[in-house]
Structure 1
Amino acid sequence: MTDGHLPYPFGRETTGYAVKDLTSTLHKAEAAGAKVLWGPYISRVRTSAMVQFPGGYVAELHQGGDDR
């Protein structure tokens, strides 16, 4: 249940991207100036993180789950 107000950074992402290696992708993103806002979080089937890229673009990056 939620009152519709999600805590930052959730609800700010405009899309999500499945990646083969989340750890490597996060390192490359940070080297390019991106900031990890949340995560990585490891669940039973997926590892995910929220990233803000230069210019303010926020996206979810995830590994695992249905994209295996």
Structure 2
Amino acid sequence: MKPDGMVLRWLARHGVVVSPAAAREVLASVVERLSVRMGQRITAWEVDHAIWLDARARVVIPHPE
């Protein structure tokens, strides 16, 4: 997984301010922990997709005045 700007901003919003290289390590750890917690293999793509969905849901569209 190559963390892009949206993923890095999402991590920062959750108190994890890291470089892209460190973000890969954080996300790999998240994948492993989620896999154990959920009792099934979770992929990096699934975590990335969930982050994108959450980040997109937070996008504020300006209201025309």
**Does TM, normalized by the shorter one, top 0.5?**
no
Compare the two structures and name the one with the higher helix fraction.
2
Compare the two structures and name the one with the higher strand fraction.
1
Using structure 2 for the length normalisation, give the TM-score.
Answer: 0.29
